Amino acid sequence: IVIEGQEKGLIRKDLTPGIMKRAFFGALDEMARYWVLSTKKKHNINEAALQISSVFIRGMMSEEAWKEYQVPI
């Protein structure tokens, strides 16, 4: 997905696909582990998913894609 996005000019070309893949799945894995194992859930799972995806999508977008799509916070 990262490579395809880079080829289409949607994702920054300076990002290494393997690193981005591992960072994204690492964040999701940590939240999933927290949600399953925590007895006191301080974070809403839906809010966590929105925040994580927003950080990655906005952080990975190329300048051209950012100007065209203006993803809301």
- Residue 9 has a pLDDT of 94
Q: Is the pLDDT of residue 71 over 70?
A: no
Q: Closest Cα partner for 10 from 73, 66, 71?
A: 66
- Residue 6 has a pLDDT of 96
Tens of pLDDT, residue by residue over 32-52, are 888 888 888 888 888 888 888
- Residue 70 has a pLDDT of 72
- Residue 40 has a pLDDT of 84
Distance of CA 49 to the CA centre of its chain: 9
- Residue 15 has a pLDDT of 96
Q: Over the chain, what is the mean pLDDT?
A: 88
**Cβ(73)–Cβ(54) under 8 Å?**
yes
DSSP E strands, 1-73? none
